[in-house]
Chains A and B, each alone.
Chain A
Amino acid sequence: MSNPQQLRYSKEHEWLSAAEDGVSTVGITEHAANALGDVVYVQLPEVGDTITAGETCGELESTKSVSDLYAPVTGEVTETNQDVVDDPALVNSAPFEGGWLFKVKITEEPEDLLSADEYTAFTS
Chain B
Amino acid sequence: MSEPPRHTTRHTALDSVHRALGATMTDFAGWDMPLRYGSERDEHNAVRTRAGLFDLSHMGEITVTGPAAGELLDYALVGNLSALKPGRARYTMICDENGGILDDLIVYRLAEREYMVVANAANAQVVLDALTDRQGGFDAAVRDDRDAYALLAVQGPEAAGILRSLTDADLDGLKYYAGLPGTVAGVSALIARTGYTGEDGFELFVSPADAEKLWNALSEAGEDAGLVPCGLSCRDTLRLEAGMPLYGHELTTATTPFDAGLGRVVKFEKTTNDGRFVGRTPLEAAAKRAETSPPRKLVGLIAEGRRVPRAGYPVVAADGTVIGEVTSGAPSPTLGKPIAMAYVDAEHAAPGTEGVAVDIRGTHEPYEVVALPFYKRQR
Contacts and interface: CB of A to CB of B under 8 A. Distances in A.
Nearest to A42: B306
B317 to A, nearest CB: 24
A40 B331 contact: yes
B113 interface: no
A19 B331 CA distance: 36
Contacts of B41: 38, 63, 89
Interface in A12-31: none
A66 B308 contact: yes
A41 B307 contact: yes
B301 to A, nearest CB: 16
Contacts of A34: 24
Interface string B320-343: 000000000011000000100000
A10 interface: no
Interface string B326-364: 000011000000100000000000000000000001000
B307 A37 contact: no
Interface residues of A, number: 12
Nearest to B234: A63
Contact of A37 (B36, B310, B338, B361): B36
B49 interface: no
Interface residues of B, number: 17
B307 A38 contact: no
A61 B237 contact: no
B306 A63 contact: no
A34 B24 CA distance: 9
A43 B361 CA distance: 13
A40 B308 contact: yes
Contact of B308 (A37, A41, A89): A41
Given A38-B39, A92-B39, A61 B233 contact: no
B36 A61 contact: no
Given A40-B331, A92-B39, A63 B237 contact: yes
Contacts of B237: 63
A99 B353 CA distance: 38
A50 to B, nearest CB: 21
Chain B CB within 10 Å — which of A37, A38, A61 has the most?
A38
A40 B306 contact: yes
A91 to B, nearest CB: 12
A72 B103 CA distance: 46
Interface in A89-110: 89, 92
Given A61-B331, A63-B40, A63-B41, A37 B306 contact: no
A112 B195 CA distance: 50
Contact of A64 (B39, B233, B307, B338): B233
Contacts of B307: 41, 43, 61
Contacts of A66: 308, 310, 361
Contacts of B338: 40
Interface in A55-74: 61, 63-64, 66
Nearest to A64: B233
Contacts of A38: 39-41, 331
Interface string B212-251: 0000000000000000000001001100000000000000
Given A37-B39, A38-B41, 12 more contacts: A37-B35, A40-B308, A41-B306, A41-B331, A43-B307, A61-B308, A63-B41, A63-B330, A64-B233, A66-B361, A89-B41, A92-B39
27 contacts: A34-B24, A37-B35, A37-B39, A37-B40, A37-B233, A38-B39, A38-B40, A38-B41, A40-B306, A40-B308, A40-B338, A41-B306, A41-B308, A43-B307, A61-B306, A61-B331, A63-B233, A63-B330, A63-B331, A64-B35, A64-B40, A64-B233, A64-B236, A64-B330, A66-B310, A66-B361, A89-B41
Interface of A: 34, 37-38, 40-41, 43, 61, 63-64, 66, 89, 92
